[in-house]
């Protein structure tokens, strides 16, 4: 299909115009006009670009692209090498940040719910259907140790668990993939038993302990690995194009 048709399809699916973001969503680097082979991944690193070149891909679709708010406009060093490789090999780069977090079926949060057997019940920011953080319930109460084990198994990464003094069992949970640890206070204020995100900050420990809420940090990359994968599988099924998900290891 043509590049323009592919971009229109992605924009219709992910609706980036609905949410304010920290970077441009959609086509970030223009490449060849026809798209037959696509590589999806979490971040547009040099390693992912090199893999796309090896696979003779026409496009890369990622969660973390380029041109972030407040970053330097200068194209040199690492940024120059990445962009030069894309332009030299005529590869399109598409990136969808928050739109891929919040998509109700393919998004990072939706995929986490599926992996961890959570039933979503609505946005964490009440009244905001585009809330980046969401909440849900488990079918049965689960202990913190069992939830940690489930996270470790499903996300293939050992999570950090900060337990509140009560170490209460968990029935309700809120979560936000990636760097969403600052939503923990909002979850605690609503009486939710646990909060899960990718990253942790120094103050997160104090919030968890003092506001009586479990906190789980499962890695930024690990919690955002599955949206790009699900999106790629969906595109391959719906558009009958060759799509391959490439997971570049990242312990953070």
Tens of pLDDT along 137-152? 999 999 999 999 999 9
pLDDT the model gives residue 161? 98
pLDDT confidence of residue 44: 98
β-pairing, 26-29 with 92-95? antiparallel
Give tens-digit pLDDT for 56-77.
999 999 999 999 999 999 999 9
Banded model confidence at residue 223, pLDDT cuts 50, 70, 90: very high
Report how far residue 187's alpha carbon sits from residue 84's, in angstroms, rounded to the nearest whole number: 43
pLDDT digits (tens, 9 = 90+) for 116-134: 999 999 999 999 999 999 9
pLDDT computed for residue 249 by the predictor: 93
68 SS3 class: coil
Measured from the Cβ of residue 252, the count of other Cβ atoms closer than 10 Å reads 8
d(CA 219, CA 155): 9
Could you read off the pLDDT of 19-61 as tens digits, one per residue? 999 999 999 999 999 999 999 999 999 999 999 999 999 999 9
CA angle 144, 146, 148 (to 5 degrees): 70
Averaged confidence pLDDT in the chain: 97
Strand 59-64 with 92-95, pairing: parallel
Cα distance between residue 179 and residue 142, in whole Å: 25
Sole residue written with tokens 């849900």 = 136
Helix axes 225-239, 3-14, angle to 10 degrees: 120
Q: Which two tokens stand for residue 212?
A: 């009586």
Whether residue 164 contacts residue 213, with contact meaning beta carbons closer than 8 Å, is answered with yes
Q: How confident is the model at residue 114 (pLDDT cuts 50, 70, 90)?
A: very high
Query: How far, in whole angstroms, is CA 158 from its chain's centroid?
Result: 18
Residue 173: is it exposed, middle or buried by C-beta count within 10 angstroms (0-12/13-18/19+)?
Answer: buried
Encode pLDDT of 168-185 as tens digits.
999 999 999 999 999 999
């Amino acid at each position: 299909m043509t590049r323009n048709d592919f971009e229109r399809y992605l924009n219709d699916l992910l609706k980036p115009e609905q949410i304010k973001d920290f970077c441009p969503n959609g086509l970030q680097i223009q490449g060849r006009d026809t798209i037959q082979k696509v590589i999806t991944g979490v971040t547009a690193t040099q390693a992912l670009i090199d893999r796309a070149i090896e696979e003779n891909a026409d496009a890369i679709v990622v969660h973390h692209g380029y041109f972030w708010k407040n970053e330097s406009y200068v194209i040199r060093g690492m940024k120059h090498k990445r962009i030069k490789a894309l332009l030299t090999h005529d590869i399109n780069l598409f990136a969808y940040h928050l739109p891929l977090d919040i998509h109700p079926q393919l998004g990072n949060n939706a995929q986490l719910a599926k992996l961890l057997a959570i039933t979503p019940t609505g946005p964490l920011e009440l009244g905001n259907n585009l809330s980046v953080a969401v909440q849900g319930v488990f079918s049965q109460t689960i202990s913190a140790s069992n939830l940690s084990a489930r996270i470790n198994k499903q996300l293939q990464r050992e999570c950090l668990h900060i337990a509140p003094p009560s170490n209460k069992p968990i029935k309700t949970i809120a979560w936000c993939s990636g760097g969403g640890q600052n939503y923990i206070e909002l979850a605690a204020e609503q009486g939710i038993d646990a909060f899960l995100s990718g990253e942790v900050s120094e103050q997160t420990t104090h919030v968890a302990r003092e506001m009586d809420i479990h906190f789980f940090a499962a890695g930024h990359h690990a919690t955002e690995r599955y949206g790009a994968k699900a999106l790629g599988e969906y595109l391959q099924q719906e558009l009958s194009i060759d799509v391959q998900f490439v997971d570049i290891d990242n312990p953070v």
